[in-house]
Structure formats: C-alpha cells, structure tokens
Structure 1
Amino acid sequence: MLNIVDLVKKFQQPGGGELTVLNVPRFQMADAEQVALIGESGGGKTTLLHLIAGMLSATSGSVCVDNLELTKLSEQGRDRFRAATIGYVFQTFNLLPAFTALENVKLGMTFGRGGVDADRAMNLLDRVGLADRAHYRPKQLSVGQQQRVAIARALAGQPKLLLADEPTANVDPASADSVLDLIINSCQQDSIALLMVTHSMDVADRFSRIDRLEDINRIAALHHNSAS
C-alpha cells in the first residue's frame, strides 16, 4: 500500500538557506496494515503525513501509494489521487464551520470513489454515534463530537489508506479511547490501511506494529541523539 524510498523534504528558511526536516531511507506498509508512528512533537510526523497525502511535494525521493508514484504527479494530480484513495483525520479537525455535520461528511465524498451518497453519509454518522447530530454545525458540537465527524468525513470517500495525525490530542482522556476504537475498528471493518502518528505511548500500544520516528527519519535521529 505504501512504499517510501530515500524521501527528503527541505524547507526554505526566511533568512536564506534550507532546513531539512525529513530524510527517510525506507518505510513500507502492506494493504490493510495498521501502524503507529511515535515521535516527539516537531520531529516531522505531520510533514511525513502531508507528503504521503500529496499535500506537499518532496524535495527528492519516492512516495508510492497504492502502486502510484506521487512524486511524478502534478499538484492537481495529487489532489485528485488523495480524494480518491486517502482519508485524513486532522489533529485540529478542519471541519467547515458553516456546514452541518452531515454536509461536512458529504463533502468528504465529493471526489471519492463512490460519489456523494447522503444515505451512506448518514450511516457513517450513525457509526460514530452522531446520527442525532447530523444537522448540527461544528460550533454546536463538543470537541469529541467534532472529532467523530472528522473521522466520518475521512472514511466517507472509501479510502484505501487512512492517515491520522494525533487524533486524540485535542480530546479529553475519556473520549480518547472511543476515538481510537472508532478509527481502528472502522479501518479493520473496511480493510483500510491505517497510519497513525502520535507522541503518546498509550495510543501506540493499541497497535501491533509500532515504529519510532527516530528509527526511520535520519533527521529525527540526529535530534534525538543530540538531546540524549
């Protein structure tokens, strides 16, 4: 499902020069595999997810998702591929405030493989326990409920790979387990590969495969070793 080789990402710095944040020689995931990637904040976890999702372009190297090489696509091509193949659970939810929960989920279907299906959108909200909040806007929902809508939206396009960026970071501890259960169980039910990045070992322990950022990213390893 995912094959990364010699992936490097550099950013231009305001004062000139470049800052290298990722140098990943190799990282792979199988179809429907669930992986937790654990690392400290600021270590490049979100940047890695953005590269896998095609939201950022790589400086060099290869990112292959579902047998398609993303680094060879245009920005528009990456956008189309992401909509059809990848679901993304953002740490800050990224729900559109002017739209209801149902409308936000339907937006996740707009460019997906199955097209917009109101019945499926309602079924997804029912799966995350929010069928009775379908016509509520984000500001009318609790933080935990907003995260559940974001999960439903990420699943709406019938993705083959789900990327989750610290999905429990902004919910209270009581809600964290239910959020994790929703993501993990939904991916198992629909045979979706899952890559979740986190700084929490409690979250990572829910996964049979745990990778550490400093083991796959040479830049994170340098920072980790210098801090030790």
Structure 2
Amino acid sequence: MLEIENLIKRFDQPNGGELTVLDIPSFQIAAGEQVALIGQSGGGKTTLLHLIAGMLTATSGSIRINNLELTRLSEQGRDRFRAGTIGYVFQTFNLLPAFTALENVKLGMTFGSGHVDPSRASDLLDRVGLADRAGYRPSQLSVGQQQRVAIARALAGRPKLLLADEPTANVDPASSETVLDLIMDSCRDEGIALLMVTHSMDVAQRFQRCDKLEDINRAFSPMGAGS
C-alpha cells in the first residue's frame, strides 16, 4: 500500500541554510494495516503526513502508494490522486463553517470521484453517532462532535489509506477513546490502511504495530525540526 524509500525533506532557513526535517531510509504499510507512528511535538510527524498526502513535495526520495510513484506527479496530479485514494483526519478538523455536518461529509465525496452519495453520507453520520446533528453547522457542535464529523468526511470517498494527525489531541480523554474506536473500527470494516501519528503513548498502545519516528528518521534531533 505505502512504500517510502530514501525520503528526504529539507526546508530553507532565513539565514540561507537548509534544515533537514526528515531523512527516512525505508518505511512501509501493507494494505489494510493499522500503524501508529509516535513522536514528540515538533519532530516532523505532520510534515511526513503532508508528504504522503502530496500536500508537500519531497526534496528527494520515493513515495509509492498502490504502486504509483507520488513524487513524479504534478501538483494537479497529486491533488487528484489524494482525492481518490487518501482520507485525511486533520488535528484541527478543517470543517467548512458555512456548511452543515451532512454537507461537510458530502464534500468529502466531491473531492474524489465527484459523485455524491447522500445515503452513504447519512450512514456515516449515523455511524459516528451524529444522525441527529446532520443539519448543524460546526459552530453548533462540540469539539468532540466536530472531530466525529471530520472522521466521517475522511471516510466518505472510500479511501485506500487514511492519514490521521493527532486526532485525539483536542478532545477530552473520554472522547479520545470514542474517536480512536471510530477511526480504527471504520478502517477495519472497510479494509482501509491507517497511519496515525501521535505523541501519546496511550494512543499508540492501542495499535498492534507502533513505530517511533525517531527510529526511522535519521534527521531526528532532541530539539525537533518541525511539526
């Protein structure tokens, strides 16, 4: 499903130099596998997800998803590929404030094939326990409810790979368990590979496979390099 080889990401610095945030010789995830990647804040976790999703471009190296070399695609090509293949649960949710919960989930479908399935959108809201909040806008929902809408939206396009960026960071401990269960169970039910990055050992221990970013990233430093 996901194969990374010799991936390097550097950022230009104000002093004219470069900062190497990621230097990953090898990292793989199998189809349907669920993996937690644990690392400290500022260690490059979000940067890695953005590279995998095609929102950032690598300095060098290879990112293959479903045997397609992502680094060879144009920006538009990466956007199309992401829309059809990858779901993304953002730490800050990124719901559109002017749209209802149901409309936000439907948008997750239009990013991919462009086909909207109202029945699936409603079913996903029901699955995350928000069938009675379908007409509510994000400002009318609690933080935990917003996160559940974001999960439903990420699943809406039937992705092959779901990326989750610290999805429990902004919710209370009780809601954290609910969020984790929703993500892991939904991915298992639909055969979706899952990569979740977190700084929480409690979250990471829920996964059968947990890797440390510092173990796979040769650019790791105790001070961190990026979010």
Same fold per TM (> 0.5)? yes
The alpha-carbon distance between structure 1 residues 41 and 174, as it changes in their structure 2 partners (threshold 3 A), is same
Per-residue Cα deviation, 1:190-215 (whole angstroms, up to 9, x for no partner): 00000000000100010000000011
> 2:222 corresponds to which letter in structure 1?
H
Q: How many residues end up aligned between the 2 structures? A: 224
Corresponding residue for residue 36 of structure 1: 36
Task: Tell me, in whole angstroms, the C-alpha distance in 1 between the residues paired with 2:113 and 2:67.
Answer: 17
The alpha-carbon deviation at position 15 of structure 1 amounts to 2.7
Secondary structure (helix, strand or coil) at the match of 2:28 reads strand
Residue 135 of structure 1 aligns to a residue in which SS?
coil
Contact residue 4 and residue 63 of structure 1 kept, 8 A: yes
> Using the alignment, how far apart are the partners of 1:160 and 1:172 within structure 2?
29
CA-to-aligned-CA distance 1:15-34 (integer Å, 9 cap, x gap): 32111100000000100000
Matches within 5 A, 1:65-80: 65-80=65-80
- Distance of 1:123 and 1:52 partners within structure 2: 28
1:223 maps to 222
Structure 2: unaligned runs, 5 residues or longer: none
Residue in structure 2 matched with residue 18 of structure 1 by the alignment: 18
Counterpart residue number, 1:172: 172
2:93 counterpart residue number: 93
Distance in 2, Cα, partners of 1:139 & 1:224: 36
**Equivalent residue, structure 2, for 1:201:** 201
User: Matches of 1:52 and 1:129 in 2, distance apart?
Assistant: 30
- Map Cα deviations across residues 108-155 of structure 1 (whole Å, 9 max, x no partner): 000324721111101100000001000100000000000000000000
RMSD (Å), alpha carbons: 1.2
Distance in 2 (alpha carbons) for counterparts of 1:147 and 1:14: 36
Identity, % of aligned positions = 78
Question: So what's the TM-score if we normalise by structure 1?
Answer: 0.96
The answer to whether residue 193 in structure 2 is matched with residue 210 in structure 1 is no
Deviation at 1:66, TM superposition (A): 1.1
- For residues 31-180 of structure 1, the aligned pairs below 5 Å read 31-113=31-113, 115-180=115-180
Question: What is the rounded CA distance, in whole Å, between the counterparts of 1:190 and 1:114 in structure 2?
Answer: 20
1:192 paired to 2:192? yes
Give how far 1:82 is off.
0.2
The CA deviation at 1:12 is 1.1
One-letter code aligned to 2:16: G
* Structure 2 CA distance for partners of 1:162 and 1:129, relative to 1, 3 Å: same
Query: What is the rounded CA distance, in whole Å, between the counterparts of 1:190 and 1:65 in structure 2?
Result: 18
Aligned-residue offset at 1:106? 0.5
**1:105–1:152 Cα contact (<8 Å) kept:** yes
Q: Given residue 65 of structure 1, which amino acid in structure 2 is its aligned partner?
A: I
- Within 2, Cα distance between the matches of 1:208 and 1:111? 31
SS across alignment from 1:42 = coil
| Unmatched 5+ stretches in structure 1 | none
Q: Is the 8 A contact 1:114 1:157 kept in 2?
A: no
